[in-house]
């Protein structure tokens, strides 16, 4: 079995590569050219995966990588994935996160229409939610250029499935985190800063909207759902989440409890971190994935946040930060 992962250097790409290698796959990854290599998340896998330079902005590079690798499965995880950046760089976000999906689907049509395709869609598409909890039939109302781009990526995947009979699936994943999460996202920002406060390196944590609520799960659990979607008999779309919602304040309470401190003495709200339009509350209804794929999340929110804080403390003790 041969799989190609775009975004292999990202959080999900690294967990998915591990997951597929454990199942005996030959794993290939797309990396974009950079003046310095930033392969930290996959450094432990470097001799087990094959990396290819290509870019979601460059149609021919995608066609060539598919011709070279001849994959049976393509997981399209690459994107400009940070919501605030999408207001600063809305056009680039659209190019990567929206049109990049069409480029990959066109490459599949040109090279091998039998390839099974996974698109990394997002609960950000629900935005200003129309109902709670959100399922596969809940209408979208995105609240950021990123969310709008993901809606395009979702519907172009559905459209190519219906127009060209491709095995193209869209996983509507709710927030998922891990010790490998980028430090700009709120869970990792909190775990990292709590670890630095624990180590006496800093004393304050600036935060935005404390009341925002998310359905947060563990990335290692969610990559299994991606794989299951491509093993199904028919290509369908699935909501993947836990069904449990927590607030940013609750996240902070857990992280500071792990370091034995009172969060109120360290956390300050910074209005500059509020978003032009906010997604206030997301909550998944993952019952279709449970029923049809047999998928269940394993790690709880609290377990995950405590693990993230402990991992960051170890990193700081080892000299990071
Ligand atoms: P991430 O850590 O930000 O990783 C994004 C990856 O995309 C990186 O490997 C990045 O490469 C790559 N990339 C960006 N632009 C590219 C381009 N033009 N060409 C090739 N590669 C490019 O994101 P993640 O958390 O793993 O998320 C994976 C996917 O799931 C993303 O599409 C994200 O939008 C979506 N998603 C994530 C969540 C979540 O909670 N994590 C939830 C729903 C959906 P570099 O290393 O070179 O930057
Ligand atoms: O961690 P976040 O930046 O994640 P967000 O915006 O929900 O997006 C993530 O999940 C999406 C799935 O729904 C993915 F598609 C997307 O790629 C990404 O992985 O922010 C979570 C919440 C927001 O409401 C934000 O306003 O936390 C709030 N928040 C409060 N203070 C903060 C901060 N977020 C960040 N990043 N930094 C803060 O200081």
Task: Write out pLDDT tens, residues 258-290.
Answer: 999 999 999 999 999 999 999 999 999 999 999
Q: Please compute the mean of the pLDDT values over residues 233-261 and round it to a whole number.
A: 98
- For ligand 2, whether the C-beta of 124 sits within 6 Å is yes
For atom 11 of ligand 1, the residue with the nearest CA is 7
- For ligand 2, whether the C-beta of 175 sits within 6 Å is yes
58-84: per-residue pLDDT in tens?
999 999 999 999 999 999 999 999 999
Q: What is the pLDDT of residue 117?
A: 99
Q: What is the pLDDT of residue 321?
A: 76
- Pick one of 3.90.25.10, 2.40.50.100, 3.90.76.10, 3.90.1720.10 as the CATH number of 182-214+245-281+299-317: 3.90.25.10
Give start-end residues of each CATH 3.40.50.720 domain in the chain. Answer: 2-176+217-240
Q: Please compute the mean of the pLDDT values over residues 213-242 and round it to a whole number.
A: 98
The half-sphere exposure of 22 on its side-chain side, counting CA atoms within 13 A, is 10
Q: Please compute the mean of the pLDDT values over residues 79-95 and round it to a whole number.
A: 98
pTM of structure: 0.98
133-145: per-residue pLDDT in tens?
999 999 999 999 9
Q: Considering 25, 75, 118, 146, which one is annotated as catalytic? A: 146
144-195: per-residue pLDDT in tens?
999 999 999 999 999 999 999 999 999 999 999 999 999 999 999 999 999 9
CA distance 255 to 260: 9
Q: How far does Cα 229 stand from its chain's mean position?
A: 16
Looking from the CA of residue 100, the nearest atom of ligand 1 is 18
- CATH no. of 2-176+217-240: 3.40.50.720
Give start-end residues of each CATH 3.90.25.10 domain in the chain. Answer: 182-214+245-281+299-317
Contact 72, 27 (CB under 8 A): no
């Amino acid at each position: 079995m041969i799989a190609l992962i775009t975004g292999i250097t990202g959080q999900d790409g690294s967990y998915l590569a591990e997951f597929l290698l454990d199942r005996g796959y030959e794993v290939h990854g797309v990396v974009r050219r950079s003046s310095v290599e930033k392969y930290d998340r996959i450094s432990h896998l470097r001799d087990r995966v094959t990396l290819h330079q290509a870019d979601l902005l460059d149609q021919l590079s995608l066609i060539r990588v598919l011709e070279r690798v001849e994959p049976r499965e393509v997981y399209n995880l690459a994107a400009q994935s940070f919501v605030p950046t999408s207001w600063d760089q809305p056009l680039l976000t659209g190019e990567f996160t929206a049109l990049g999906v069409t480029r990959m689907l066109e490459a599949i049509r040109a090279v091998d229409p039998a390839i099974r395709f996974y698109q990394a869609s997002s609960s950000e598409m629900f935005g200003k939610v129309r109902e709670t909890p959100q399922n596969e039939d809940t209408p979208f109302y995105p609240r950021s250029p990123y969310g709008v781009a993901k809606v395009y990526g979702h519907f172009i995947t559905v459209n190519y499935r219906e127009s060209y009979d491709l095995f193209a699936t869209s996983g509507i994943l709710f927030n998922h985190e891990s010790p490998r999460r980028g430090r700009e996202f709120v869970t990792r920002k909190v775990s990292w800063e709590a670890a630095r406060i624990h180590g006496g390196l800093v004393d304050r944590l600036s935060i935005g909207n404390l009341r925002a609520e998310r359905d947060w799960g563990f990335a290692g659990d969610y990559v299994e759902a991606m794989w299951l979607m491509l093993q199904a008999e028919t290509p369908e779309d699935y909501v993947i989440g836990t069904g449990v919602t927590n607030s940013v304040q609750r996240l902070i309470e857990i992280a500071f409890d792990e370091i034995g401190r009172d969060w109120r003495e360290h956390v300050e709200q910074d209005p500059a971190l509020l978003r032009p339009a906010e997604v206030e509350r997301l909550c998944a209804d993952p019952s279709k994935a449970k029923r049809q794929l047999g998928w269940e999340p394993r790690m709880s929110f609290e377990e995950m946040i405590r693990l993230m804080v402990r991992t960051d403390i170890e990193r700081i003790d080892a000299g990071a930060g």
